[in-house]
Structure 1
Amino acid sequence: MGALLAVSLLAGVVRRMPLLALAMALFGSTAVVVGPPSSGHESLAASYQGQFLSYPAVDLVLGFIVATCARRASIVAVAVSVAVQLLVIGVFAHGDGLTVNAVIAFLALATSCMAGLLSRERREHAVALRSQEVAEAVTAERLRIARELHDMVAHSIGIIAIQAGVGSRVIQTQPAQAREALRAIEVTSRETLSGLRRTLVSLRQADRGATASEQSPLAPSPGLADVERLAAATAGAGVRVDVRCSGEQRPVPADIDLSAYRIVQEALTNVVRHAGTGRCRVAIDYGDEEPSVEIVDDGRGDTGNGSAHGFGIIGMRERVGLLGGRLSAGPRPEGGFRVEARLPMPAPVGVPVEAR
């Protein structure tokens, strides 16, 4: 009891300087063993055997060292504790008591070391899981930003490039058409800069942990309601877009709305850049359970947007996969290319009603 009381008094030392606490516990426990035995000659052997029970206090400190200290320090502490305890038991225990006390000391040491190792492994495993979760979250955020920037910038740059080409060809012969091309370039550039600003400001605010009251007002993210404006911009690049809507038009969740818009945007970018046609069709279906978008053109049937050429279709698949939807993209048998995405609505969360 005295040794356990001493360990409780040294709890602060154990946390700050565990190796010093182990040395003090070893010294105190050994002093108890080598000191004068308790009174009563008839219980001299029993007194020596009972005195060895002071060493579990050392084992408690040793378990804490194994759980919290570096491996090299833990190995040294275990080796010193084993050597001291077995040496003292070998010198002061006699007869059958030698074997019994040696076995008890070894089991107590092994138990404390195993408990310390389990505690260390549990803590290291928890740290590894947290690190993995952080790394996965960072990777997912990087992919999300990459998709947003690709879908937003690729479409705008494609339109700007085509309009710039048209303007350069007709600037001498058709000044009015050249002015229209320049105006389209200006509008598209401003919209792209606005989108980039919204993305960058959101990233900076998230990095600084800004509160809602500190955040600057940002333009809302685009959605299916903006497809008509997107079609008009695409028409300015030389591709006429026929937009058709079916089903009851209703608000959809923001993530589905944005993903559907980005899929249409990327598909139209591919039509402008790769299809070699002057028209395409966009069909939006506000289904009861899963809204869908379909983009069909009658061009060459190959967008050239495979893994070796770009990340457009890859980004589409990632967006649809995150929402648990389905995407099909490929050439049509009758010619042209078709992209269809189905984005299921989240299941409503019902409130359980207790039966009466």
Structure 2
Amino acid sequence: MAWAGGSSYLLVVGLLVGGAPRASGTVHGVGALLAVSLLGGVVRRVPLLALAMALCGSTAVVVGTPGSVHESLAPSYQGQFLSYLAVDLVLGFIVGTCARRASTVAVAVSAAVQLLVIGGFAHGDSLTVNAVIALLAMAASCMAALLSRERREHAVALRAQEVAEAVTAERLRIARELHDMVAHSIGIIAIQAGVGNRVIQTQPAEARAALHAIEATSRETLAGLRRTLVSLRRADQDATTSRQAPLVPTPGLAEVERLAAATADAGIRVDVRCSGEQRPVPADIDLSAYRIVQEALTNVVRHAGARYCRVAIDYGDEELSVEVVDDGRGATENGSPHGFGIIGMRERVGLLGGHLSTGSRPAGGFRVAARLPLPAPVGVTGENR
């Protein structure tokens, strides 16, 4: 199809030169400009060849028109240099899409051919005017192409930046999920393993209970890891995962009691208190609140040396408040000993537009408090109006 268009262009140029010898130069120029549309396929595939064809065709219109050599100053032929606007269109495409070296060569060849032809077939004031117009037309075409090229490159760079930011955000999300899920379980396992090791000779029943807790916690952690890994592969394996068993639901505040029971198995009494109207909250808020409680309890087990911990959940009208308080040693002299846990909690709260406060209490122990804004219930805005 592209080569058919190129052949048609050469045919049309031949008709302009030989079929309408007495037409004005303007008619020939406009005809050549319209005929360049036939080179669309060649321009996309072989742009430099299309430029060569456009140069040959436009030059043929100027040179091959009968009487143009001897009557180059006659009014009927003053517009025949308009045919080079077709060359400028192809030149703009090359500058905007091809490599800079090829663009430079194309501009140099096009400028040399046009100026040589104009110099040979225009005289006096007409020579200066046509040369200036040709240079301005080439400059305008090249500038428009460069602006278009820069706009495309900028759009590509923005898309690449957005992709990089999305990948980074997803990596942080996965890191938070794995940390919050695994750190809590490993803390419980470590405590229970220590208990079992100390009493295995003197209190076999206590040792068996510790081993049972380790087994249950390990199975739960493996299930959570499997759920996370399957969710990561779901996008590429929709057909496969659709045939698998349903995944375990994402944890939420409804499982805080189970979380407290697991922590109690590690020797820390946990008191869970809920206030306000308990109701379903958005999934991202529900998961984040659960992970904050989980991470706070993990820190209590691993770092606080506490015997008692209180979890308070308040369902407010505009925000969900979560507070975890223990009676342990609090923060160390160098600050919070909780590593990436506090960082992960701050990231979760920040993504939801909430507020997190952590620190030692004057009366002893450590406090973690998070406030997560809740969306307005449907119909509230209309009722207030």
* TM-score (structure 1 length as normaliser): 0.93
Cα deviations by residue, 1:274-296 (Å, 9 ceiling, x for unpaired)? 11111111101011111111000
Query: By how many angstroms is 1:244 displaced?
Result: 0.7
Note if 1:321 corresponds to 2:350: yes
Is the 2:69–2:121 contact (alpha carbons within 8 Å) kept by the matching residues of 1? Answer: no
Question: How many Å separate the matches in 2 of 1:42 and 1:29?
Answer: 18
- After superposition, the Cα gap between the structure-2 partners of 1:304 and 1:116, relative to the gap in structure 1 and judged at 3 Å, is farther
325, 328, 339: which one pairs with 1:296?
325
Query: 1:181 maps to what in 2?
Result: 210
Query: By how many angstroms is 1:130 displaced?
Result: 1.4
125, 143, 149: which one pairs with 2:172?
143
* Letter of the structure 1 residue corresponding to residue 374 of structure 2: M
Aligned length: 353
Aligned alpha-carbon RMSD (Å): 2.3
Question: How many Å separate the matches in 1 of 2:282 and 2:347?
Answer: 18
> What SS does the corresponding residue of 2:186 show, helix, strand or coil?
helix
Mapping 1:137-176, distance limit 5 Å? 137-176=166-205
- After superposition, the Cα gap between the structure-2 partners of 1:169 and 1:307, relative to the gap in structure 1 and judged at 3 Å, is closer
- After superposition, the Cα gap between the structure-2 partners of 1:182 and 1:127, relative to the gap in structure 1 and judged at 3 Å, is same
Note if 1:105 corresponds to 2:100: no
Note if 1:58 corresponds to 2:87: yes
Is the 2:325–2:367 contact (alpha carbons within 8 Å) kept by the matching residues of 1? Answer: yes
**Runs of 5+ unmatched residues, structure 1:** none
Cα deviations by residue, 1:249-287 (Å, 9 ceiling, x for unpaired)? 111111111100000000000011111111111101011
* Letter of the structure 1 residue corresponding to residue 302 of structure 2: R
Query: 1:258 maps to what in 2?
Result: 287
Question: How many Å separate the matches in 2 of 1:349 and 1:64?
Answer: 54
Question: How many Å separate the matches in 1 of 2:350 and 2:334?
Answer: 19
Note if 1:18 corresponds to 2:51: no
Query: By how many angstroms is 1:187 displaced?
Result: 0.6
Cα deviations by residue, 1:93-115 (Å, 9 ceiling, x for unpaired)? 21001111011101110111111
191, 196, 217: which one pairs with 2:246?
217
Query: By how many angstroms is 1:324 displaced?
Result: 0.7
* Letter of the structure 1 residue corresponding to residue 211 of structure 2: L
Query: By how many angstroms is 1:226 displaced?
Result: 0.5
* Letter of the structure 2 residue corresponding to residue 162 of structure 1: I
Query: By how many angstroms is 1:91 displaced?
Result: 2.4
Query: By how many angstroms is 1:49 displaced?
Result: 3.1
Note if 1:235 corresponds to 2:235: no
Question: How many Å separate the matches in 1 of 2:74 and 2:302?
Answer: 96
Query: 1:86 maps to what in 2?
Result: 115
Question: How many Å separate the matches in 2 of 1:334 and 1:101?
Answer: 91
Question: How many Å separate the matches in 1 of 2:334 and 2:185?
Answer: 17
Question: How many Å separate the matches in 2 of 1:351 and 1:9?
Answer: 62
Note if 1:77 corresponds to 2:84: no
Residue identity (%): 85
Note if 1:337 corresponds to 2:363: no
Is the 2:263–2:297 contact (alpha carbons within 8 Å) kept by the matching residues of 1? Answer: yes
Mean alpha-carbon deviation: is it higher for 323-332 or for 75-84?
75-84
- After superposition, the Cα gap between the structure-2 partners of 1:216 and 1:134, relative to the gap in structure 1 and judged at 3 Å, is farther
Is the 2:72–2:121 contact (alpha carbons within 8 Å) kept by the matching residues of 1? Answer: no
Is the 2:274–2:313 contact (alpha carbons within 8 Å) kept by the matching residues of 1? Answer: yes
Query: By how many angstroms is 1:137 displaced?
Result: 1.1
Question: How many Å separate the matches in 1 of 2:96 and 2:71?
Answer: 42
Note if 1:9 corresponds to 2:51: no
Is the 2:329–2:366 contact (alpha carbons within 8 Å) kept by the matching residues of 1? Answer: yes
Question: How many Å separate the matches in 2 of 1:6 and 1:187?
Answer: 79
Query: By how many angstroms is 1:346 displaced?
Result: 2.0
* TM-score (structure 2 length as normaliser): 0.86
* Letter of the structure 1 residue corresponding to residue 359 of structure 2: G
Query: 1:29 maps to what in 2?
Result: 58
Question: How many Å separate the matches in 2 of 1:351 and 1:328?
Answer: 30
Is the 1:163–1:182 contact (alpha carbons within 8 Å) kept by the matching residues of 2? Answer: yes
**Runs of 5+ unmatched residues, structure 2:** 1-29
